[in-house]
Amino acid sequence: MMHNIIEVQRLSRRFGMTQAVNRLYLQVPPGCIYGFLGPNGAGKTTTIRMLLGLIKPDDGSIHIFGRPLRQNERDILSHTGSLMETPALYPHLTGRENLELVRRLTGGSRKEISRVLAVTGMEKDANRPVKEYSLGMRQRLGLAAAMFGQPELLILDEPTNGLDPAGIHEIRELICRLPKEGITVFLSSHLLNEVEQMATRIGIIKSGSLIFQGSPDELRSRFTDYVSVTTDRLDETCSVLRSSGWQAVHRGNNHLTVPVNGYADAAVINAELVRAGHKVYQLGLTHPSLEDIFLTLTENQ
Ligand SMILES: Nc1ncnc2c1ncn2[C@@H]1O[C@H](COP(=O)(O)OP(=O)(O)OP(=O)(O)O)[C@@H](O)[C@H]1O
Ligand SMILES: [Mg+2]
């Protein structure tokens, strides 16, 4: 039977008065790159710390590889690699020496060091001390360490945090190759545009609860196109459109938006306004970007 690599149900965790994670459900199918998204403070790191057994849930369950985490923690975590925000590295040691320490802890073979250096493109800098590394190189070395022992699952908390566009691009290319090697990737971010090009599945968390889970296309299809209109008398324009059944919304000082189903509706709206004697200065059809959708979903109501 094909089970989800991660299956989380009703997961909850509080810190004092803060409900950091609140009855969270997650399904991470095998071979996907799962983008776990949410604004700052949404509960991503708290969730990841529970997935890695670093803190205990107050309630709910976590299954990884089809087995309950609580009873199989050692075994499950030995097949799971992780990278939390910034990797803990020894600055005065070289990249290779840092990996040698990881090897001694996890008991991998010497060959593993060369393998993970090759996968992350870090061979040429492996003999330089880490204190000379750029942030992107540190992040890649952290990923190399996470990939020790051929994990089936990688859990990465904000792996692109603080990187410049070139650094983000490098990490993204690296992560996109992982499913081909049989690795399922679960990664968090507070920026949708950082993950939208690599995620095959997206979960959005807000105030500790899941508010969307599905493919990027499903997320897009949740939101229809809209027409943006600028006229001489916006309030009246809004009433005219509403009286004929459009859900027009007055947006601030100079335009209103109307959810529609494509170009034909834009033409109908234009004709109605002209017939009612309004001066249409501007009228255009807009497809919301995933980033717009993410911001709409997560903005404070
Ligand atoms: N150890 C802790 N003690 C007290 N409160 C905590 C602790 N860890 C997290 N919190 C609180 O729980 C909430 C969720 O925090 P968390 O770090 O999980 O969010 P996040 O989604 O990872 O945010 P960010 O994008 O900023 O990393 C926040 O309100 C935070 O202040
Ligand atoms: Mg965090």
Q: One digit per residue, pLDDT tens: the chain, 301 residues?
A: 568 999 999 999 999 999 999 999 999 999 999 999 999 999 999 999 999 999 999 999 999 999 999 999 999 999 999 998 777 889 999 999 999 998 988 878 889 999 999 988 899 999 999 999 988 899 899 999 999 888 999 999 999 887 888 888 888 998 999 999 899 999 999 888 888 889 999 999 999 999 999 999 898 887 778 899 999 999 999 999 999 999 898 887 688 989 888 889 999 999 999 999 999 999 999 887 788 788 878 875 4
Q: Which ligand minimizes its atom distance to the CA of 12? A: 1
CATH 1.20.910.10 fits 223-298, yes or no: no
- Quote the pTM value: 0.84
- Give the dihedral sign, CA 233/239/242/243: negative
- What is the rounded distance in angstroms from the CA atom of residue 192 to the CA atom of residue 204? 9
Nearest CA to ligand 1 atom 25: 40
- 6-220 is a CATH 3.30.70.20 domain: no
Ligand 1 centre distance from Cα of residue 46 (Å): 6
Return the SS3 of 163.
Answer: coil
Domains 6-220 and 223-298 share a fold: no
CA gap 258, 99 in Å, rounded: 56
Lining ligand 1 with CB less than 6 A are 15, 18, 20, 38, 40-46, 190
Domain ranges of the chain: 6-220, 223-298
**C-alpha distance from residue 126 to each of 82, 100, 228, 253 (Å):** 20, 11, 54, 57
Tokens representing 1? 């039977």
